Amino acid sequence: MTVFVGVDVGSSATKSVVLDENKQVLERFILPTSLRLELDIQQLANQLANAFPCQRIVFSTGYGRNRVPFAVLNKPEIICHTKGVFSEFPYAMDIVDIGGQDNKVIKVNDDGTIQQFKMNSKCAAGTGAFLEEIAHKANLSLDELHGLAMTSHSQAPLNSFCTVFAMTELIKRVMQGESLPDLARGVYLSVAERIREMVGHRKTPVVVTGGVIQHNPLLCDILIEKLGDNLKLPAFAQFTGALGAALYAWDSKDCSEVAEALDA
């Protein structure tokens, strides 16, 4: 038996998807990405070896794709996210990946090829890091921040996308007597607005991926209000990159280069 594994080493979490010979998902693994990346990768390797003591063809992707020693090949995250999403939504679309440190918008043609992409890697606005920083400043966990925001019906977003200026604005609004639930909702409104600006006015479906959208249902609800019925959410939004890498691994099963690497 041979399984096909995609490993997505992101800035906040390391994800993996395991496929069988019929392209069916057998398992998904996830663990936090820490500064001790070698130990994280070794922990994942142990999980895979224990769960699947057979031949494994592994492709890696993500920021840390070059740090996976047991990967046969690595692929850029843009193409892996696209392949993973296109396997579930096989039509022209815009993919918005809300990551821990950046956001990406990928415009995909109806044949699954990438037309163009852009990212906001120089600014944490609208990312998981932005939400984490706000929650930390409020002495809350992310779950608590989300829970507070769910109790509010405010429609007042933060005016500042920059994390530093957003903090200043939050403090000012607290001093003016604004409630914490309203401020929490304002944070999510500002993230959604940032994403809407990146997408622009598109007629094609918008598929949103990443751990931020998977673990923050309120953000999904707000994006539906802003983008309408065109918004789509994968069943496992945090695993699309790993799924794409696993699909590339499956595609390589008859590749001589991969066979030579496995025999080496």
For β-strands 73-74 and 2-9, DSSP reports them as unpaired
CA distance 59 to 47: 16
**pLDDT > 70: percent of the chain:** 94
Spacing of C-alpha 138 from chain mean position: 24
**Cβ–Cβ < 8 Å for 249, 75:** no
DSSP 22: T
**Cβ–Cβ < 8 Å for 100, 129:** yes
pLDDT digits (tens, 9 = 90+) for 184-211: 999 999 888 888 888 877 778 999 999 9
CA distance 47 to 55: 14
Helical H segments across the chain, by residue range: 37-51, 77-86, 128-137, 142-150, 163-175, 180-199, 211-215, 217-227, 240-251, 256-263
pTM listed for this prediction: 0.89
CA distance 195 to 95: 11
Q: Which of 2-16, 97-111, 246-260 has the highest mean pLDDT?
A: 2-16
CA distance 47 to 37: 15
What domains can you pick out in the chain, each with its CATH number? 2-84+239-263 (3.30.420.40), 91-233 (3.30.420.40)
Classify 58 as helix, strand or coil: strand
pLDDT digits (tens, 9 = 90+) for 35-78: 999 999 999 999 999 999 999 999 999 999 999 999 999 999 99
Phi/psi for 121 (5° steps) reads -65, -15
Q: Which of 28-37, 77-86, 124-133 is predicted with the least confidence, judged by mean pLDDT?
A: 124-133
Crossing angle for the helix pair 180-199 and 128-137, to the nearest 10 degrees: 160
